[in-house]
């Protein structure tokens, strides 16, 4: 059994500092160091390993010893020891003792051969038999190896083991092997020496010069002789104490051998793991290109020039994607695309400087710069951008400098710069800004901001052209406008609409000849809609006129056929009941009803359009309405309008056979008397009036020809405006919140809504409404909602809502 290597490292032979070095590879002469003593009775120390001799180990040479006995000089650990071959353990040399160094033998100029006993065991080269070497003057034959010569009586008693050379541990220096030697210890030696890696390290670093030095000073030519019988008895003698120590040593050697085996097994496992990793790496390298991770994108797109933190791009077809992640400055010039889409630069979140000058950009989308929370400088100059969205610069919390100079901007959306909390510099020069209501907010912002803005000027309209925007006053902008939007659609046809208030509730009465009824609708203040309330039967109703008088609700129902009637709301049964018939001899073909109050008395007048009938006036008394006066007989009247002008009640009756006739109230007679006519206009379908400040105006609608607007000045009427109205059956002026409108309906085209301009003293076209064949327009104020009812003879009745619009928002 081979002794533990860790134990054999601590025993080294001091050989001096010779300069000779020689190495023999496995197929070359194998060096060996064999112990020699001059005394023939000294047994050899054992087999020495040539790689473990310390470079500093030298023989301790003292004065000549007189006993004629030489001691082998050894180094155990770092201490010099002396051993005479008999003692159980080397001891420190005594004073005056001379240590004889062991000479390192070598086979100079010889070649090792297979026949000399060299064989390979795994990674070790083992000397199976001693080589045959010719003896020289300084080299004597080597001792006989016990396993190759079992008949040798003295080597087995020392427990000597064959030498094992490890080629990878041979230090190569100038082609020669280091002359190192380590003695294999006797198995019975106590394992009291601690392991020392420094001993092996020092031995590996030795220069091998000790062997040659020793040969120069000591020459031995005597031949070793085997020990005698007495010596062998002494060697084989074992005391009980030594036997215990030997068993302990054997147990320690067994445990150490098991540890070495586990260490070797761990090394093999580690070696296997490393091999597996190497195979995996080779397999990855052999994979095709598409099976491996895609190649890393280039650090800079082809159209750009990049440094570590900047990029300059020319003729890019899109916003570059493969930019270095450290880029904080990007410049794009002459780009080949026209639109910057949402979050176009979100993949460069570290960007601090962005220059987009001299491109062809026409549109910048919402949130185009989203994700650039660190951007401080943004330049978008010399492009063709005509408009921006409100959310263009959303998310630029760190932006301090913004330039939109030399674009084609004509307007800016309200609160465009509101997300830019720390904006310090803004450049808007070189744009064609129109100073209308859409730019009013900019005037307000310039008055309150601390941002530095170079002077910008108006390009339009004419009254503001060339003026500095900062110098404009907020009063110069007329930005509040209105609009009529559809609020509700009533799924039926109607020809008249009359709103009224009864018991604090809002109602509307609509004549529905197609449904043979007068529909009464009630306003729902919660849902803000008109809902069905009740219906009055009327087979051919043309007008349903509600009158609230003396806390009673009356409804006058005018019918083309079957006579006209008066209904009253009965609170006991919550329904309308008929209380009176209208004289059918006077009213044959009613067309319009007008109700009014004069000197505390309630009246209503019915315009009769038949040739045999007449327009009649009715008065309310305690028992009902009674005929009070026959006004305009045999003239085919189509409409009647009640007007109070200069405190005098008047009636204007329109007729298809003559010009409109004016009747004035005679207080003494308590009747209307003829006052005159309205100009020389014939075929007037309807006359309606309105008042602006102190002036009274009349609107005369015609079915064939143009409708007109005239100002009533005493006895004469001054024509102000002519409006095209072919096919018009209704022309209704109405006022909403100090705005005067005019709705002109037509059976052949859209309904036109006009707005009165006081400065021009005329109506200007304001809006078009899609109402088919309208027969009336009625303004209905419903709490906080202003409604316009548009009854249609051919389609659904529409309810429009009047809304106020701020054009500067």
User: Residues 768-781: pLDDT tens digits?
Assistant: 999 999 999 999 99
Q: How far apart are CA 718 and CA 732, in angstroms?
A: 19
Residues 152, 153, 154, 157, Cα dihedral to 10°: 110
Which of 188-192, 614-618, 668-672 is the least confident region? 188-192
pLDDT at position 449 over 90: yes
Mean pLDDT of 348-352: 94
The predicted pLDDT at position 743 comes to 97
pLDDT at position 126 over 80: no
Indicate the SS3 state at residue 590: strand
Residue 728's contacts (CB-CB under 8 Å, 6 or more residues apart) are 685, 701, 702, 703, 707, 744, 745, 746, 747
pLDDT at position 289 over 60: no
pLDDT at position 79 over 60: no
Task: Quickly count helices (H) and strands (E) in the chain.
Answer: 6, 48
| 189 close to 89: Cβ distance less than 8 angstroms | yes
Confidence of residue 288 (pLDDT cuts 50, 70, 90): low
State the average pLDDT for the chain. 75
Q: How far apart are CA 759 and CA 445, in angstroms?
A: 31
Tokens found for residue 625: 């309405």
Share of the chain residues as helix, strand and coil, in percent rounded to the nearest 5? 15, 35, 50
The predicted pLDDT at position 647 comes to 86
Tokens found for residue 273: 């793991």
The more confidently predicted of residues 317 and 101 is 317
Q: Are strands 79-83 and 71-76 parallel, antiparallel or unpaired?
A: antiparallel
DSSP-assigned letters across all residues of 702-760: ESSSEEEEEEEETTEEEEEEEEE-TT---EEEEEETTEEEEEE--SSS-EEEEEEETTT
The predicted pLDDT at position 239 comes to 58
Confidence of residue 237 (pLDDT cuts 50, 70, 90): low
What are residue 801's DSSP bridge partners? 485, 787
Beta strands in 70-179, from DSSP E residues, in sequence order: 71-76, 79-83, 99-100, 118-121, 124-127, 164-165, 172-173, 176-177
Mean pLDDT of 327-332: 95
The predicted pLDDT at position 87 comes to 52
CATH of domain 299-478: 3.80.10.10
pLDDT at position 60 over 70: no
pLDDT at position 151 over 90: no
Q: Where are the alpha helices (DSSP H) in 620-663?
A: none
Q: What is the pTM of this model?
A: 0.57
Q: Which of 795, 688, 698, 766 is nearest to 731 (CA)?
A: 688
Mean pLDDT of 496-519: 95
pLDDT at position 209 over 90: no
Sign of CA dihedral 656, 657, 660, 665: negative
């Amino acid at each position: 059994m081979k002794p533990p290597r860790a134990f054999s490292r601590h025993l080294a032979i001091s050989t001096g500092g010779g300069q000779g070095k020689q190495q023999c590879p496995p197929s070359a002469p194998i060096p060996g160091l064999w112990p020699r003593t001059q005394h023939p009775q000294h047994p050899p120390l054992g087999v020495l390993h040539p790689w473990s001799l310390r470079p500093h180990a030298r023989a301790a040479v003292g004065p000549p010893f007189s006993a004629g006995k030489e001691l082998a000089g050894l180094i155990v650990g770092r201490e010099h020891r002396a051993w005479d071959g008999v003692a159980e353990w080397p001891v420190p040399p005594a004073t005056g003792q001379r240590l004889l160094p062991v000479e390192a033998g070598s086979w100079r100029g010889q070649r090792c051969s297979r026949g000399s006993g060299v064989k390979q065991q795994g990674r070790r080269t083992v000397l199976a038999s001693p080589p045959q070497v010719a003896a020289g003057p300084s080299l004597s034959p080597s001792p006989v190896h016990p396993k190759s010569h079992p008949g040798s009586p003295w080597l087995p008693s020392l427990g000597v083991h064959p030498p094992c050379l490890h080629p990878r541990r041979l230090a190569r220096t100038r082609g020669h092997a280091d002359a190192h030697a380590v003695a294999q210890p006797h198995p019975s030696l106590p394992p009291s020496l601690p392991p020392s890696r420094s001993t092996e390290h020092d031995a590996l670093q030795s220069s091998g010069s000790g062997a040659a030095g020793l040969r120069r000073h000591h020459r031995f030519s005597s031949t070793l002789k085997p020990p005698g019988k007495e010596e062998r008895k002494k060697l084989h003698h074992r005391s009980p104490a030594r036997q215990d120590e030997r068993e302990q040593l054997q147990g320690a050697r067994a445990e150490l051998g098991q540890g070495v085996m586990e260490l070797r097994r761990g090394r093999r496992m580690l070696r296997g793991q490393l091999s597996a990793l190497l195979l995996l790496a080779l397999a990855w390298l052999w994979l095709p290109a598409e099976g491996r991770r895609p190649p890393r994108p280039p650090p800079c797109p082809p159209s750009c020039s990049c440094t570590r933190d900047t990029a300059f791009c020319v003729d890019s077809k899109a916003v570059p994607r493969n930019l270095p992640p450290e880029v904080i400055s990007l410049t794009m010039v002459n780009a080949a695309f026209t639109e910057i889409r949402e979050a176009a630069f979100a993949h460069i979140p570290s960007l601090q400087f962005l220059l987009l000058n001299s491109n062809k950009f026409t549109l910048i989308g919402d949130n185009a710069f989203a994700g650039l929370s660190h951007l401080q400088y943004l330049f978008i100059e010399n492009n063709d951008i005509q408009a921006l969205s409100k959310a263009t610069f959303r998310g630029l919390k760190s932006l301090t400098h913004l330039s939109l100079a030399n674009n084609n901007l004509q307007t800016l959306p309200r609160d465009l710069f509101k997300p830019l909390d720390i904006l310090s510099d803004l450049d808007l020069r070189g744009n064609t800004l129109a100073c209308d209501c859409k730019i009013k907010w900019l005037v307000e912002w310039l008055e309150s901001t601390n941002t530095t803005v170079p002077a910008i000027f108006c390009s339009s309209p004419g009254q503001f052209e060339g003026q500095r925007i900062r110098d404009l006053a907020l009063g110069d902008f007329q930005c509040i406008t209105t609009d009529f939007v559809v609020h509700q659609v009533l799924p039926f046809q109607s020809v008249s609409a009359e709103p009224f208030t009864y018991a604090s509730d809002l109602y509307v009465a609509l004549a529905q000849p197609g449904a043979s009824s007068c529909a009464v609708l009630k306003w729902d203040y919660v849902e803000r809609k008109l809902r069905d309330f009740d219906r009055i039967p009327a087979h051919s109703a043309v007008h349903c006129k509600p009158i609230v008088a003396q806390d009673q609700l009356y409804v006058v129902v005018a019918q083309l056929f079957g006579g006209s009637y008066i209904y009253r709301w009965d609170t006991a049964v919550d329904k309308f009941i008929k209380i009176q018939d209208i004289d059918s001899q006077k009213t044959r073909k009613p067309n319009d009803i007008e109700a009014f109050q004069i000197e505390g008395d309630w009246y209503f007048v019915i315009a009769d359009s038949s040739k045999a009938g007449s327009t009649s006036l009715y008065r309310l008394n305690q028992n009902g309405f009674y005929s009070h006066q026959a006004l305009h007989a045999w003239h085919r009247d189509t409409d009647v309008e009640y007007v109070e002008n200069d405190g005098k009640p008047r009636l204007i009756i329109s007729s298809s056979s003559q010009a409109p006739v004016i009747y004035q109230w005679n207080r003494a007679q308590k009747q209307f008397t003829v006052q005159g006519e309205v100009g020389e206009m014939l075929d007037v379908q309807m006359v309606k009036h309105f008042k602006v400040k102190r002036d009274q105006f009349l609107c005369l609608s015609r079915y064939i020809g143009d409708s007109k607007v005239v100002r009533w000045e005493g006895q004469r009427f001054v024509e102000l405006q002519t409006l095209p109205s072919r096919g018009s059956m209704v022309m209704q002026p109405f006022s909403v919140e100090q705005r005067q409108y005019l709705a002109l309906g037509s059976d052949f085209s859209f309904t036109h809504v006009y707005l009165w301009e006081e400065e021009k003293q005329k109506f200007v076209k304001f809006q078009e409404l899609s109402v088919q064949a309208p027969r009336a327009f009625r303004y209905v104020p419903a709490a906080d909602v202003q409604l316009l009812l548009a009854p249609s003879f051919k389609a659904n009745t529409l309810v429009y809502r009047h809304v106020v619009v701020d054009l500067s928002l």
